[in-house]
Amino acid sequence: MDQFTINLLFVGASFALYIGIAIWARAGSTSEFYAAGRGVHPVTNGMATAADWMSAASFISMAGLIAFVGYDNSTYLMGWTGGYVLLALLLAPYLRKFGKFTVSEFIGDRFYSPTARMVAVACLIIASTTYVIGQMTGVGVAFGRFLEVSNTTGLLVGAVIVFAYAVFGGMKGVTYTQVAQYCVLILAYTIPAIFISLQLTGNPIPALGLFGDHVASGEPLLTKLDQIVRELGFSEYTAHHTDTLNMVLFTLSLMIGTAGLPHVIMRFFTVPRVADARWSAGWALVFIALLYLTAPAVGAMARLNITELMWPNGTDGEAVSVQMIAEDDEYDWMATWQKTGLLGFEDKNGDGRIQYYNDANPEMQAKAAENGWEGNELTNFNRDILVLANPEIANLPGWVIGLVAAGGLAAALSTAAGLLLAISSAVSHDLIKGQLNPSISEKGELLSARIAMAVAIVVATYLGLNPPGFAAQTVALAFGLAAASIFPALMMGIFSKKVNNVGAVAGMLAGLVVTLVYIFLHKGWFFIPDTNSFTDADPLLGTIQSTSFGAVGAMINFVVAYVVAGMTKETPQEIKDLVESVRFPRGAGAAQDH
């Protein structure tokens, strides 16, 4: 059986499973559609939250970013897990006690203002849609690669599948489908990592292998990696070499953004009790940590494998020959990925060998002049192919490659579905039922939720075909916006009785607008190329890159809300009573519709 058939088999079988579950669990009432009738166990809910949360960015992209930068990109690991502490301690139990269906409902009621609710709806829709666009782009690339079709066809196939189970299943379909997706995703991520860790360190647990010894040299793996990348003129893997302030702000933005993203927060509305909401966040992080503790090992080990493949005789020996790449099975992956245009190599000096080194390093330039090298010849290695290509790089069996294909798609699809649900409930429940037509029937509400979902997927698919920028930039925008707008409003709504309607609206708008403008100034207005005034290499404010600005936006939100609240009319007594009741678990019933 060839690799294409194996990939198709794995991807096809996993999809049959998800769709089967979605049909089996078809939603009946409105309450079931949004929140699965609150019958979801904390462990089940944690697993589904993990699948929802870990998108193409975590599965496909993150280990590659860590592999080629090293320590400095630990920010992703800390940022995308640390947010769960904020969620568990500051938001989840109180929002569950509040007992409504959506995030904007809480903001509208707590700040006794339909305007606040609509501003929250706008923030949610903007953040979620930009996030979905990133996922759809990922879906297109992964489908295109593994089904060996064009990016466009891949994206359309993916869109149809997301539509099928999100629209017909609702939350319950999505919850159980996402449990299945989590299982596929985590097996696909850890199995190749275990093989590779065994090969390199003899330790079956990648997270321990990372800090273990490299079998071939007997030295610690990280010491070996630092040494060989240093010898090729790259900065040491474990060294800190970028700006500290930016690193701190970037980590903080990812953390706050995690706790402000509606599709993650919504998960905590679906557990039966307040106590379960507290446990649920912990279980979600357990399942997320299985991938996040493996990711740095995947990155470091892949970097070592790739470097050693390029220098089979060691960094002071001869580089790999063009003939070897063409003929040796170990190098098949290079030809496969070269076809996608995401990997490139070129024998610039015509010596029949491919020299991979850092040609921007003066010491290496001197060495290159001595040896007749004419620049780095591994000309392109897209970070996003690392995880998908990893089993091929390590020469693992065909079924592992098929499994990774299914896992990458599960990651992208599950997140896209969760976000679509958040968007559809914001439109049907908050906008239509809450504002435009309060007397809408349950059936009408369900129908409008499905129409909203269909519209959102069409928009996301269209923008996914013509993305406003790289997926990573799009995702960064989503995080920055959620951090700057939603999280501060939720936190102040629970922990401060002083912040009133005007304060909250002013805070959300200030955080949202300032962050949006800062991002547009660096990435181009509405992501139109060449309309930017600054770049992240030389940002407007000191060393703060546009991806790190969410944390600053959040601080602006807090300050503006407090100052404006101090100047305007005090929060009424019944709202103070509402805040008081949200703080105590007793009396938490089932969600109320209104």
Partner 1 sequence: MADKTPQSAASATEADKGYWASNVRIIIISLIIWAIVSFGFGILLRPALSGISVGGSDLGFWFAQQGSILVFLALIFFYAWRMNKLDREFGVEEE
- Point out which residues bind partner 1 (CB under 8 A): 71, 74, 77-78, 81-82, 84-85, 88-90, 93, 207, 210-212, 219-226, 238, 240, 244, 247-248, 251-252, 273-275, 278-279, 281-282, 285-286, 289, 292-293, 296, 495, 577, 580-581, 583-588
**Could you tell me the two tokens for 437?**
């037509």
Q: How near is the Cβ of 100 to partner 1 at its closest, in Å?
A: 15
C-alpha 19/C-alpha 45 separation (Å) is 19
Distances (CA, A) of 432 to 329, 448, 588: 59, 8, 27
Nearer to partner 1, 217 or 380 (CB): 217
Q: How near is the Cβ of 308 to partner 1 at its closest, in Å?
A: 17
Q: How near is the Cβ of 484 to partner 1 at its closest, in Å?
A: 19
**Could you tell me the two tokens for 23?**
């049909």
Nearer to partner 1, 367 or 497 (CB): 497
Q: How near is the Cβ of 37 to partner 1 at its closest, in Å?
A: 17
Q: What share of the chain is helix, strand, coil (3-state, %, to 5)?
A: 75, 0, 25
DSSP 482-505: HHHHHHHHHHHHHH-SS--HHHHH
Nearer to partner 1, 109 or 445 (CB): 109
The alpha helices in 211-327, defined as continuous H runs, are 221-231, 244-258, 262-265, 274-310, 322-327
Q: How near is the Cβ of 294 to partner 1 at its closest, in Å?
A: 10
Q: Quick one: three-class SS letters along 111-140?
A: CCCHHHHHHHHHHHHHHHHHHHHHHHHHHH
Nearer to partner 1, 466 or 573 (CB): 573
C-alpha 500/C-alpha 486 separation (Å) is 15
Nearer to partner 1, 238 or 395 (CB): 238
Q: How near is the Cβ of 237 to partner 1 at its closest, in Å?
A: 9
Please name which of 558, 562, 583 lies closest in space to residue 571, comparing C-alpha atoms: 562
Please name which of 576, 470, 564, 473 lies closest in space to residue 511, comparing C-alpha atoms: 564
Provide CB contacts within 8 A for 2, sequence distance 6+: none
DSSP 57: I
Helix (H) or strand (E) holding 321: strand 320-321
Nearer to partner 1, 241 or 443 (CB): 241
Nearer to partner 1, 272 or 375 (CB): 272
User: Do 250 and 79 touch, CB atoms closer than 8 A?
Assistant: yes
Nearer to partner 1, 93 or 154 (CB): 93
